[in-house]
Amino acid sequence: MTLKSFYGLPKKVIFCKKTLMSNQQPGSAIEFNHNIRSQKKTLKIDKKGISESWYYSRIKKKINFKEREKKLLKLLEKHRGKYGEFDCIVPGSGGKDSCFAAHILKYKYGMNPLTVTWPPILYTDYGLKNFKNWISVGKFKNISASRDEKTMITLTKLSILNLLHPFQTFMLGQKIFSVKMALKYKIPLVFYGENEAEHGGQPLAENYVSLRKKSFFTYQNISKLYLAGIPLNELSSTYSLKKKNLDIFLPPPVKALDNIPLEVHYLGYYINWIPQETFYYAVENCGFRPRPFRTQGTYSKYNSIDDKIDDLHYYTIFIKFGIGRATYDVAQELRNDHLSIEEGKKLIKKYEGEFPNRYFTEIMKYLNINKNYFHELCNKFRSPHLWKKIKNRWHLRHTANKDGTDD
């Protein structure tokens, strides 16, 4: 019997022999098009059991980054000093990647970046300290988005109820706020850090260009926009959300780019971007500090630690796609040759699927969601081809360690 799969996921579950990542891994979504009927693009794994992301990690080792840096220098020289006080924009909330990007652009390459921030939904103490250190130590000017809290809470709650996607409101702003600031202040050069395509789930060809696609941060037809999985017009009529408070969550129309030659680049195209090294750089140069305890669901202490909802986000990925935060961290370190396969398997076995209870009660209270209802909701989003219920407990059918119920 063929089991039903949700979200357009491949019905046959395969794990990469080199990274332990599953072919259920979803690619980056255009969040303002995302609804419950959306079909996911996922990581491609070939007949040999090897993923596209692994192949690219081998190609990346042969890239001449000295030549890439020359391209970066030409790009920076083209924009340096052309727009008044600032030469470029770097978005971030004070994590290791934004710390690295802004600092190296300013202090190695002589640019003067304006930093812009779409704040986390609920800052952690460590995240807020790192954000303040990023700005003060680097002597950056910063613009942070000011959102209507009622609208933020409502959209975050609805994104959980409709999509089991607690991080959507953060991801929306993270991708579009920098562009809106670039248009407002007429600074047409924006830098993000690492290209998400390196992790898989996106076409491999996207790793060979420095520019982010405009479809990720502009729209062509406002009638096709969704927030929290709901058509934009329904949010106003059904949930009494005011258009003026929703505007900050919406991308600009593509025609807004007609009068400004906006370029959104991945700095990781030009620089050999290795997450562990950006962490060490941020600690040494930006006042960045990891948490003294590991993140629930994985073994790391320094990845994505600024938002209390981040841990819950990765747990919902585990529910929907059968892969959690430990698998994401292990796959990244395997691609960078920082772990052995056996070490990766042990880490996944130990930490994968751990429930993030550290901030859970606070989050549910903030969003006015009953804790028991949240768990019931999770069960509705479990895809039958990934999960099996035995004696009132859910088990994965397939795992990287080959110890699932159907392995």
Residue-range domain boundaries for the chain = 27-37+56-371
What's the distance, Cα to Cα, between the start and end of the chain in Å? Answer: 16
Q: Residues 125-175: pLDDT tens digits?
A: 999 999 999 999 999 999 999 999 999 999 999 999 999 999 999 999 999
pLDDT band for 259, please (50, 70, 90 cuts): confident
Kindly state the average pLDDT of the residues 307-335: 97
Among 254-258, 302-306, 324-328, where is mean pLDDT lowest? 302-306
* Helices assigned H by DSSP within 93-214: 96-107, 125-138, 149-163, 168-185
pLDDT at residue 371 in the model: 98
Residues of 18-30 as b/e, b for ≥16 C-beta within 10 angstroms?
A: bbbbbbbbbbbbb
Q: Is 53 helix (H, G, I), strand (E, B) or coil?
A: helix
The yes/no answer on whether domain 27-37+56-371 falls in CATH 3.40.50.620 is yes
- CA gap 161, 39 in Å, rounded: 18
Q: What is the predicted pLDDT for the residue at 229?
A: 96
Ordered DSSP codes for 233-283: HHHHHHH---HHHHGGGSPPBGGGGGGS--EEEEHHHHTT--HHHHHHHHH
Confidence band of 304 (pLDDT split at 50, 70, 90): confident
| pLDDT of 68 over the 90 cut | yes
Q: Are 97 and 91 in contact (CB under 8 A)?
A: no
CA pair distance 390, 45, nearest whole angstrom: 30
pLDDT at 201 over 90: no
pLDDT at 240: 85
pTM here? Answer: 0.96
- Residue 63 is predicted with a pLDDT of 96
Cβ neighbourhood burial of 227 (10 Å; 0-12, 13-18, 19+): buried
> 41: which DSSP letter?
P
Q: pLDDT, tens digit, for every residue of 88-116?
A: 999 999 999 999 999 999 999 999 999 99
355 sits in which H/E element:
none
The owner of tokens 């819950």 is 312
pLDDT at 203 over 80: no
Position 60 confidence tier, pLDDT thresholds 50, 70, 90: very high
Q: What percent of the chain has pLDDT over 70?
A: 100
pLDDT (tens digit per residue) in 372-398: 999 999 999 999 999 999 999 999 999
Quote the mean pLDDT of the chain: 95
